[in-house]
Amino acid sequence: MLRATKQSVEKIEFEVPGKRPRGRPRQRWADRLHKDLKIVGLHPDQAHERSKWRLQSRRADPATTWDKR
């Protein structure tokens, strides 16, 4: 069993300057891309087959989720 010594620090107090933004975190480009690929039924690994990838990705409608604000 590991026990603390007299020199070990029990607690560290740290204050971060500023405030956190309100609301949910903003979506990253990669998050949006993965969500769009999931809607179309594509996996990023399928990008190696360019002809299949182009056929599937052209079917995707970029306005489907962006218009729902």
Evaluate if residue 67 carries a pLDDT over 60. no
Tell me what the mean pLDDT of segment 55-61 comes to.
68
Task: Assign residue 29 a region (left: φ > 0; alpha: ψ between -120 and 50; beta: otherwise).
Answer: alpha
Name the residue with tokens 């020199």: 7
CB 12 within 8 A of CB 27: no
pLDDT digits (tens, 9 = 90+) for 18-49: 888 889 888 898 888 888 778 777 887 877 78
For residue 55, give both structure tokens.
């056929």
Q: What pTM did the predictor assign?
A: 0.43
61 pLDDT tier (thresholds 50, 70, 90): low
pLDDT at 27: 86
From the list 17, 56, 19, the residue with the least C-alpha distance to 39 is: 56
Map out the domains of the chain as residue ranges: 29-60
63 pLDDT tier (thresholds 50, 70, 90): low
